[in-house]
Structure 1
C-alpha cells in the first residue's frame, strides 16, 4: 500500500488530513482576487438606508399621532355614530402604513405576499359585510 495523506473511513468515504485541507483552502483564497472597496457605492447605499430610516421614523410618528387622535375622540365622549367610522378609517390607514413601511411591501419581490394579503382582506370584508347583512339588514329566519 502506498503512503498518502488520505485514509479510508469506510468503503466509500475518503478523508484527507487536516494539513492538506488547510493548504488547499489557502490556495483557493489566494487565487481569487478580493473585492475592492467601492466608496461611491458605499455612499449611495448609506444615503438610501438613511432615507429609508427617516421614512420609517416619520411613518411611526404619523401612526402615533393617529393613535392620539383616536384616543382623544373616545376620551372626549363624542357620539358613537361619528367616532366609529373615523376610528375604522384611522385603523385602516395605520394598517396600510404598517404594510408598506414596516413590512417592506413597497419593495420589489413581495408580489405573492401582497396577493395573499389582499385576498385575505377581501375575504375578511366579505364575511363582515355578510354578517352585518344577516344581523341587521336581512331577515334570515323567515
Structure 2
C-alpha cells in the first residue's frame, strides 16, 4: 500500500468497484496507490485471511520509504521496547461492509480501513466530526462511481 509522502489520517480501501483503480501487480505484489484524500476505490478484492501488507510513502521523485506497522500493544507498559510515539506508522483499523439506501441508487460495499499517524497524534483521526466528514466523502465517491456504471 502506497501513500502520498505527506499523508496522515484515515485511509480506506473500497473493494470490487468496477470504476475503481485497476489491479496492478509489481514483483508479485498488488500495488494499492492511495490518492491524497485516503479513499481508494479498487477493482480488486480485499483479502480476508492473513496478508503480509507492506506500507510506503511515495515522494514526488518516485522514491518509496517504508512506513512501520503499529498496534496499541506495542505501547503497553509491559513492552520492553516501545516504539517512538512521534514516528508515523500504519494502524490497521478493521474491515466491514455498508449498505446505503438513500439517495438512490442503493449501494452496498465492502471496505478495509487504516490510520496513518503517530501514536501521539492518532486520536485526531478518531474525532467524531473528522470521521463523519470522511465517511460522507467515501459514501459520495462510492455512489458516484456506481452511478457511472449504471449510466
What interval of TM-score do these two structures reach, taking the shorter chain for normalisation?
Answer: under 0.3
Larger relative helix fraction: 1
TM-score normalised according to structure 2 size: 0.26
TM-score normalised according to structure 1 size: 0.27
**Larger relative contact order, structure 1 or 2 (CA cutoff 8 Å, min sep 6):** 2
Larger relative strand fraction: 2
Rg comparison, structure with higher value:
1
